[in-house]
Amino acid sequence: MENTKDLTEHPTHSERKRRDSFGMFDGYDSCSEDTSSSSSSDESEEEVAPLPSSLPIIKNNGQVYTYPDGKSGMATCEMCGMVGVRDAFYSKTKRFCSVSCSRSYSSNSKKASILARLQGKPPTKKAKVLQKQPLVAKLAAYAQYQATLQSQAKTKSAVSLEGFSWGNYINSNSFIAAPVTCFKHAPMGTCWGDISENVRVEVPNTDCSLPTKVFWIAGIVKLAGYNALLRYEGFESDSSLDFWCNICGSDIHPVGWCAASGKPLVPPRTIQHKYTNWKAFLVKRLTGAKTLPPDFSQKVSESMQYPFKPSMRVEVVDKTHLCRTRVAIVESVIGGRLRLVYEESEDKTDDFWCHMYSPLIHHIGWSRSIGHRFKRSDITKKQDGHFDTPPHLFAKVKEVDQSGEWYKEGMKLEAIDPLNLSAICVATIRKVLADGFLMIGIDGSEAADGSDWFCYHATSPSIFPVGFCEINMIELTPPRGYTKLPFKWFDYLRETGSIAAPVKLFNKDVPNHGFRVGMKLEAVDLMEPRLVCVATVTRIIHRLLRIHFDGWEEEYDQWVDCESPDLYPVGWCQLTGYQLQPPAPQTSRESQSGSSKQKKKSKSQQYKGHKKMTPLQLKEELLDGEEYSFLQGASDQESNGSASYYIKQEP
C-alpha cells in the first residue's frame, strides 16, 4: 500500500470543503476575485494558470487564513485574534473574521460597558473586549520570544554533545543514510511506503513575525532516515531557508491538515511579495504532487506502542557467565529497547540493555525447556507486581528438523566472537541443545568449566561454515596460541582430528536488505549496549554488515546481521527520546587508543570488550573488572531471500 497521497485525487462533494482546502481561504465568494496574479519580482513573472473549474472552492470553516497581498492588506480579528486578508473579513469596518466573532464581540462589549458603569467609570463609545491584547503587544512578545530562542541556540552550539546535528553532519560531508525500510523492527519500518523526495507536507512557518503559530507547505529535498531536508514552497532553487526535521514529528502534517484543523497557512516573509495570488500558485504547484497519507501520524503512534511493559519477568543471558541465563525484570522501555535489572539486584544497578526482539532474552522456563544452563535466583517467590512475560511476545526462531543430519559436538565452524564483535573466530560446537540451539566455544580461549560458551541458534546469521572468511576475504582469527600461521583449515582439522560442520546446515538466506556501503545509521555499541552511536556501514558480505563507529578506530568495528534489532535509522534517537552518542572527538580517541590495545582477553579477569567513552565520560575510567557487558549482533528473524555463501565479493 502506498504511503503517500496523490493530491490530484478528486474527493466527493461532501468532502470538498474539508479535504481540498489549503487552509488559506474561506468565504472565498466574498473575496476580491480580480486580484492580479502578476508577481512583484522578476522571478515570479511566470503566469499562474487559472483555477480549473473542476476544483472546488478552497474554503475552511468560516475563517480566513492567508498572508495579505499588496492590494487587500492584513487585518486582525478583534475577537479571536486571527490574522487574515482584510477584504475577506466581515462587516464594512473589517474588524472581525466572521459573523460569530462580530456577535460575540458585541455581546462582550455590552458586558464591559455595564461593568464599567457598576464600577463608577464613565462609559466609552467603544468598550474594549476584556483581556484582549493589541496586535502590537503580541508582535513585541513574539519578537522577544524569537530572540530568546536564538540566544539559547547559540549557547547550545558551544557544547559538543548537545551541538551534534545529523542534518549538518550529512550536509557537510554529502553522506547518505540508510532508508527506514531497511529496519523492519523500527517505527514505520514496515509501512514507510514511497515517502521520498518531492513529497509535500505542511510544517510550521518559522520565517514569520506573526505572534501566532502559522504553517506553510514544504517539499522534501533530501531524506536521511527519519530526517528530511525541507524547502518551503515558493523558494524554487533558493536553499537559504532549507531546514531539517524528523518527518515523524508532531509538527509534520499532510497537505490539507491546516484546512481540516482550522490552522493558518501563511507564506514565509522572505517571499511574501513574490506572488499576489498565492492560492492559484499553490493549486498549480501541488496538482499531481504527493503528500503523506491522512493517517500518517496515527501509524507513527501505533508503531511506537511496545508490548513489553515494566515489571515483566524474562530470562536473559548472564553477562558475567555467558553460558547461562538469569531472571531479570523489565525496568523501562525506550523505543523498544529494554533496560533489564537482574532479579537479585537490590539497588537495581546490576542491569542489562537489549532490544525486545534480541535473541538474548526468552520467556520464563525457556532454559529448562531446551537444556540451557540457568542460574536460580535466591528469591523464592515473585515480588509484588512482577509477572512473567507472555511467550508470544518474544522473537520467533525458525523451526528446524534435527532428526536427520545435524550438528554434533566437536564439529568446527566459524563464529562471531561475542566478546570481541570485530572478530570472526575458529569455533567448536560444545553442546547440542533442543529446538535447534547450540552451545559454542571459541577455540584457544575457552574456560575449563565452559563458563564462556555462548548460545546461538542453528539458523543464527552469526555462525558460518568452515572457509567462509577465506572465500569472502575476511580475516579469520585463529585459536590463541596457535603458531602454525598462516592458518589453514585443512591442516587444523587434521591436527585436531575434527570435522567441519556440514555447509548445508547453515542459514544461507540473504534478504534484500537495502543497505549499501557508506550508509549512515544509528547503531548500538554491543560491547556497551546502553549506548547508541553514530555509525557507518563499511562492508557488506551477503547479510553480514561491518559497522564502524564514526570517530573511532577500526578495532572498535562490529560485525552485525542486516536484520539485527540493534540497528536504527538516522533520527531514531530523536524520535524515541534515546540519547545519541555523537562521533568521538579527537582527544577522546587518542586517550583511549593506547589503553584499549592493552586490554586482552584472559581467564584471570573478565573481559570488558573495547569500551568507547562518551563525551560525558572522558574523566571516568572504564568499568571496573567485576563484570563485562555483552551483546551478540545477531537476529534470528527469518529472512526473505537467498544466496550462496560461496560467492566471492569484493571487500
Q: Model confidence over 46-88: pLDDT tens digits?
A: 444 443 433 222 333 333 333 333 333 556 677 766 656 565 5
Average pLDDT, the chain: 77
Span 356-388, pLDDT tens digits: 999 999 999 999 999 999 998 776 566 778 999
The Cα 15–Cα 124 span in angstroms is: 46
Span 564-578, pLDDT tens digits: 999 999 999 999 999
Span 270-291, pLDDT tens digits: 999 899 899 899 999 999 999 9
Question: Which of residues 55 and 104 earns the better pLDDT score?
Answer: 104
Span 588-634, pLDDT tens digits: 555 555 544 343 333 333 333 344 444 444 334 333 333 333 333 33
Query: Over 90: is that where the pLDDT of 162 sits?
Result: no
Strands (E), 251-362: 253-254, 290-291, 312-318, 321-334, 337-342, 351-355, 361-362
Query: Over 50: is that where the pLDDT of 234 sits?
Result: yes
Measured CA to CA in angstroms, residue 36 lies from 23, 276, 412 at distances of 21, 6, 81
Question: Which of residues 254 and 142 earns the better pLDDT score?
Answer: 254
Helical (H) or strand (E) element with 25:
none
Sequence-distant (6+) residues with CB within 8 A of 618 are 587, 588, 591
The per-residue pLDDT for 6 is: 63
Question: Which of residues 506 and 210 earns the better pLDDT score?
Answer: 506
Instruction: Find how far residue 505's CA is from the centre of its chain.
Output: 36
The SS3 of residue 509 is coil
Q: Give percent of the chain above pLDDT 70.
A: 65
The per-residue pLDDT for 193 is: 86
Mean pLDDT of 322-329: 95
Query: Over 60: is that where the pLDDT of 295 sits?
Result: yes
Please name which of 136, 262, 278 lies closest in space to residue 211, comparing C-alpha atoms: 136
**What is the DSSP secondary-structure string of 31-55?**
S-TT-----SSGGG-SPPPPPPTTS
Please name which of 78, 88, 90, 86 lies closest in space to residue 57, comparing C-alpha atoms: 88
The three three-digit cell numbers of residue 77, written as one number: 480579528
The per-residue pLDDT for 353 is: 97
> Taking the alpha carbons of 428, 433, 438, 439 in that order, is the dihedral positive or negative?
negative
The per-residue pLDDT for 8 is: 55
Mean pLDDT of 338-360: 93
Question: Which of residues 604 and 214 earns the better pLDDT score?
Answer: 214
Query: Over 70: is that where the pLDDT of 512 sits?
Result: yes
The Cα 190–Cα 76 span in angstroms is: 45
The Cα 414–Cα 421 span in angstroms is: 13
Q: Count CB neighbours of 631 within 10 A.
A: 27
Please name which of 587, 621, 594 lies closest in space to residue 160, comparing C-alpha atoms: 587
Span 523-551, pLDDT tens digits: 999 999 999 999 999 999 999 999 999 99
Query: Over 50: is that where the pLDDT of 113 sits?
Result: no
Structural contact between residues 576 and 185, judged by C-beta atoms closer than 8 angstroms: no
Q: Count CB neighbours of 309 within 10 A.
A: 12
Query: Over 70: is that where the pLDDT of 218 sits?
Result: yes
Minimum mean pLDDT among 107-111, 511-515, 540-544, 598-602: which range?
598-602
The per-residue pLDDT for 341 is: 95
Mean pLDDT of 92-105: 68
Minimum mean pLDDT among 118-132, 140-154, 498-512: which range?
118-132
Query: Which among 65-79, 430-444, 637-651 has the top mean pLDDT?
Result: 430-444
The three three-digit cell numbers of residue 501, written as one number: 560442520
Question: Which of residues 631 and 188 earns the better pLDDT score?
Answer: 188
The per-residue pLDDT for 651 is: 36
Structure confidence at residue 106 as a pLDDT band (50, 70, 90): low
Span 298-318, pLDDT tens digits: 999 999 999 999 999 999 999
